[in-house]
Chains A and B, each alone.
Chain A
């Protein structure tokens, strides 16, 4: 269970995340939706203790992330692609993180197999394609066999097969009773994976709903999403002519 209480982050005078309060339940995939710049990644970073909130707090099972006994065994996170040193092999990267939380080495080999990187494990991660980097990120998230998973835009850069693989993986993890929180700016993709939806715009909570509820509005999901976020989009283009 993840609980955000009035979570707020300001950059300069502008609130990137604005009194965001929401609970993300175990046993379901919760999609975290919002336009570009709506505060999804900032929220994720605050949950992980990487950015300090200006107000409010983020709790995981009632505990702030920095106070967790074994962070990687409690929460697995896929951060922005490239949260690794490009000169280090996938195996060394995973081994170092495993050592920090007393996770056995056998677990490193296990997650390499799960994400399909066993054969490329000795290669420097900088030589990986975008899809392979995402797979390495997923391996890091799964490393500690955590009950809570946070994934920031996991399908970015994945081919259709990779997208399906992620989708099945997330659903399976949720079915095992884990809390799965996945950010995306793609409603159509999220709708195929998530049960529940948290929609934000300009850092504020716009809706806490389910895919079924959103679809019941009569129009298609994309229109429903645009209707929700129409007042809360920062960057919008206009017609060329």
Chain B
């Protein structure tokens, strides 16, 4: 009888997340977009000369993650801004007045859900690519091959981290449109800005989300100069933690 805590708040967040349609649409769209990209890439390479390598197929069939990261990022954003936009947040904070408990619960539920969906999507991209090249001379990429499995798993992890960044940005910005805009800007603007650094671009670029995704996380072998995939994913988790911490600080100060 010590009162409510994280466990109760997490149960509340799980029920809330599962009971709005946007969650399901975003999850389905995430998996579908990666599957479609995988299939598209596979078909594109069928008649390609020279014959594509297993690594080429895998790297490219995970490219749907560019869209998937935005969809899951939006899922994270909406978990928070969907409440501010509708007044639900007042019901939530009246039920669980310790706001950082709410934020922690949201992050945990969002992280778990996004990791599940992200892994499914990543697997769907891989399978889509593999199915589309069946019957060709292109060598199949097996999940038993560590670099292949690693890329598929890390892509799922990267996508989950993006959703968590969305939770943080949503908590700071509070308005759905503005928060999703901010998240998209965080994902794309640095990529463009890296171009301004010329020669030393790679030293900066290895810290940039989209470049990490395409050259370090969702690939069998990272581009030289970039971090190893798992370090890139940890870096993304670090960004997410920073965003959520900012949100937590502001949450205490602001009126609901």
Contacts and interface: CB of A to CB of B under 8 A. Distances in A.
Grouping DSSP codes into helix (H, G, I), strand (E, B) and loop, the B interface class, with mixed when no group exceeds half, is helix
B19 A72 contact: no
Contact of A68 (B9, B12, B97, B256): B97
Contacts of B83: 85
A51 B92 CA distance: 14
Contacts of A238: none
A93 B94 CA distance: 13
Contact of B11 (A66, A77, A100): A100
Interface string A106-135: 000000000000000000000000000000
A68 B256 CA distance: 18
B12 A97 contact: yes
Nearest to A80: B87
A65 B97 CA distance: 8
B255 A45 contact: yes
Contacts of A45: 90, 255-256
Contacts of B46: none
A79 B3 contact: no
The residue in A70, A79, A97 that gathers the most chain B C-beta atoms within 10 A of its C-beta is A97
Chain A interface SS verdict (over half):
loop
A50 B91 contact: no
A238 B252 CA distance: 43
Given A80-B87, A101-B4, A48 B94 contact: yes
Interface string B96-121: 11100000000000000000000000
B16 to A, nearest CB: 5
B2 interface: yes
Contacts of B98: 66
Given A84-B91, A85-B20, A100 B86 contact: no
Interface in A52-85: 52, 65-66, 68-72, 75, 77, 79-80, 82-85
Nearest to A67: B97
B87 A82 contact: yes
A101 B7 CA distance: 10
B4 A71 contact: yes
Contacts, number: 102
Given A99-B11, A100-B9, A101-B4, A87 B21 contact: yes
A102 B87 contact: no
B12 A66 contact: no
B8 interface: yes
Name the interface size band of chain A. 35 or more
A100 to B, nearest CB: 4
Indicate the size class of the contact surface on chain B. Answer: 20 to 34
A174 interface: no
A88 interface: yes
B183 to A, nearest CB: 20
A153 to B, nearest CB: 14
Nearest to A91: B19
A100 B256 contact: no
Given A66-B97, A71-B97, A102-B4, A87 B22 contact: yes
A69 B2 contact: yes
Interface string B77-95: 0000011001110111111
A69 B5 CA distance: 9
Interface string A26-63: 00000000000000000001001111100000000000
A208 B250 CA distance: 37
Most buried by B among A70, A71, A82: A71
Interface of A: 45, 48-52, 65-66, 68-72, 75, 77, 79-80, 82-89, 92-93, 95-97, 99-102, 140
Given A79-B90, A84-B86, A95-B15, 5 more contacts: A48-B93, A49-B93, A77-B94, A83-B90, A97-B95
- What are the 3 closest A-B residue pairs judged by CB atoms, nearest first? A92-B19, A69-B3, A100-B12
22 contacts: A50-B90, A50-B93, A51-B256, A65-B97, A66-B97, A69-B1, A69-B2, A69-B3, A71-B4, A72-B94, A75-B94, A79-B90, A80-B87, A80-B90, A83-B88, A83-B90, A84-B87, A85-B86, A92-B19, A96-B15, A100-B11, A100-B92
Interface of B: 1-4, 8-9, 11-13, 15-16, 19-22, 82-83, 86-88, 90-98, 255-256
